[in-house]
Structure 1
Amino acid sequence: MTIWRGQQPLILASQSAARKTLLYNAGISFEALPADIDEREIQKASGLTSPGEVASLLAERKAAFVSLRHPGRYVIGADQTLARGSHLFSKPAGRIEAAQQLRALAGQTHELHSAIAVVCDGATLFSDVSVAHMTMRALNDSAIETYLDAAGDVVTSSVGAYQLEGLGVHLFESIEGDHFTILGLPLLPLLKFLRSDDMIAI
């Protein structure tokens, strides 16, 4: 028996392995079709500086891009920003920049803002932003280099140079926020929306 009631699967406008795993484990029928948009250019043109607003804008733009190419389908867009104070971080371009980000975050608390949007035919039906507070351990250069050696190229695929579901967990002292927010897909508010729209049986 399936819990999915939609006539067609959802579309996830992302190729994130973590997001796909979360939806799959929740029993949501979906297909992944990433949005081909220039996130940094959209952010720059918007003039937005609030981490939550930036994440929300990008989540909606991703979903809208895919939605307009698949009429009548519900499309999920998601985005995550990392901020320490007023400074927004982007994905590191390489190992040197990854090390720089880790030095800037070590011993500090930063925020992850995870946004989600559901769009159909270009119209936003639902959006939400959740926040997690992440406190990284104090790390010396030796610890940072050891981590980068062990983690490998994956450090450039995530802002902050870590993935909490992998070796990145060793970098942290404490975390305040739910697991789904940290992995970049606020699943509980999404499920509440889908339930209200009679898309899932539970």
Structure 2
Amino acid sequence: MKTVVLASQSPRRKELLTQAGIEFTVQPSVKEEIYDPAETPDNIVASLALQKAEEVFAQHPEAVVIGSDTMVAIDGKMLGKPKDEEEAARMLKQLSGRTHQVHTGAAILSKEDRTVFTETVQVTFYPLTESEINTYIQSKEPADKAGAYGIQGLGAVLVERIEGDYFSIVGLPVAKVVRALKKHGIQL
């Protein structure tokens, strides 16, 4: 049986693959993320997922490697992980009461096949008060999250509705990844 390698140290991605019953090892990509900011967010996350998967696949050519990347965008502008609490507050104010997009790219590589795709989910936030934003920032949850929130944690209370795959927002379109893994010879 082939080994599955996750090219990410994201605890959320690990949790989702485990939940799906996939046996895997972890080897995070250490490659610097390089992309053209003129590209669309969905193309950027696909490219970054592929770069991560290719780096790890070069070290494990007999394995099936999964790379992934998630980005939040609003008004065509990408919101990465906030550098500090001030930037987190600016991001959350920008998302307050509005709909934004969460783009998650996935790349699955094996000797037999190469699958790259992007899932885009529409996420609408409730209008947020200054106090709600400050309370959420004090939780420290926004620190390592694209767009300064995590829907799977305390950030769930910020979200009015989603249109699309919830798990893509968390960091991995797990159902689509499992289907792609089957094309690469991985059975559950």
TM-score norm. by structure 2 comes to 0.94
Q: How many matched pairs?
A: 188
1:18 and 2:8 equivalent?
A: no
How far is the alpha carbon of 1:124 from its aligned partner?
Answer: 6.4
Q: 2:94 aligns to what?
A: 104
Query: Structure 1 residue 120: deviation in Å?
Result: 3.1
Q: Which amino acid aligns with 2:74?
A: R
Candidates 76, 81, 90, aligned match of 1:91 = 81
Match of 2:60 among 70, 89, 109: 70
SS at match of 1:131: strand
Q: How does 1:1-202 map to 2 (within 5 A)?
A: 7-39=1-33, 42-43=34-35, 46-120=36-110, 125-149=114-138, 151-152=139-140, 154-201=141-188
Q: How has the CA–CA distance of structure 1 residues 108 and 47 changed in structure 2, closer, same or farther, with 3 Å as cutoff?
A: closer
Distance 2:128 2:44 in 1: 29
Measured in 1, the distance between the counterparts of 2:31 and 2:143 equals 19
Contact 1:109–1:135, Cα closer than 8 Å, also in 2: yes
Quick one: distance in 2 between partners of 1:57 and 1:79? 9
Asked if the contact 1:48–1:54 (Cα under 8 Å) also holds between the matched residues in 2, the reply is no
Flag structure 1 segments of 5+ consecutive residues without an equivalent: 1-6
Letter in 2 for 1:81: M
Unaligned runs of 5+ in 2: none
Report if aligned partners of 1:117, 1:124 keep a CA contact under 8 Å in 2: no
Identity of matched residues, %:
35
Q: Quick one: distance in 2 between partners of 1:133 and 1:24?
A: 26
3-state secondary structure, aligned to 1:185:
coil
CA RMSD of aligned residues (A): 1.6
CA spacing shift, 1:183–1:102, aligned 2, 3 Å: same
- 1:128–1:189 CA contact under 8 A, matched in 2: no
